[in-house]
Structure 1
Amino acid sequence: MRKTQLALLTLGAAVLAGFVTATPAAARDYPWCAQGGEYDYPGECAYSTYEQCQASVSGRLLYCDRNPRFAFGLEQVPPTRPHRRVRPAAPY
């Protein structure tokens, strides 16, 4: 009985550690959003082109509009990598 409890405790700790260390998926915003109906503002921004968005909203009582992050220049800029330090060459 004691071994079973220890095994369950270990398993629970491992699962909890997995949840704690998990990072959210990197979301990418696209320039076109499906808006209206079931979507809150700004909508489902998952379309690279207006044509893709139109094909998706066809028959769903939705419409396509620009993603406000793109329209107003607020798109997320990926963080820059820090510069690597370079050692000066050793004199000969």
Structure 2
Amino acid sequence: MSNVVKFGKTVLPGEANDDLVSTLEWLLADAKSGNLRGLAYATVRENNVIGTGWDGSDGTRYPLGTAISILSVRYPTAVMDGKDEA
């Protein structure tokens, strides 16, 4: 029988990702305060099932689109640079 050993900040399948939970809690608190007005998301679930979506208050359509466009540049740039941070 083999043992699964974690290396560094590796999160095993079925285990909560503490960094992800912290980010979601921060975003939730920001939304509850009324400061966060719009959100777009991309998700990856177990078995590499992906999802996307968005929600926002009136008047956030264009600013949210701008944020998505910026992210579409930032993310591949970070991947090419080998960076993991957001």
Q: TM-score range by the shorter chain?
A: under 0.3
TM-score normalised by L of structure 2: 0.24
Q: Which structure is larger by alpha-carbon Rg, 1 or 2?
A: 1
Whose relative contact order is higher, 1 or 2, with alpha carbons under 8 Å and at least 6 apart? 1
Which of the pair is proportionally richer in helix? Answer: 2
TM-score normalised by L of structure 1: 0.23
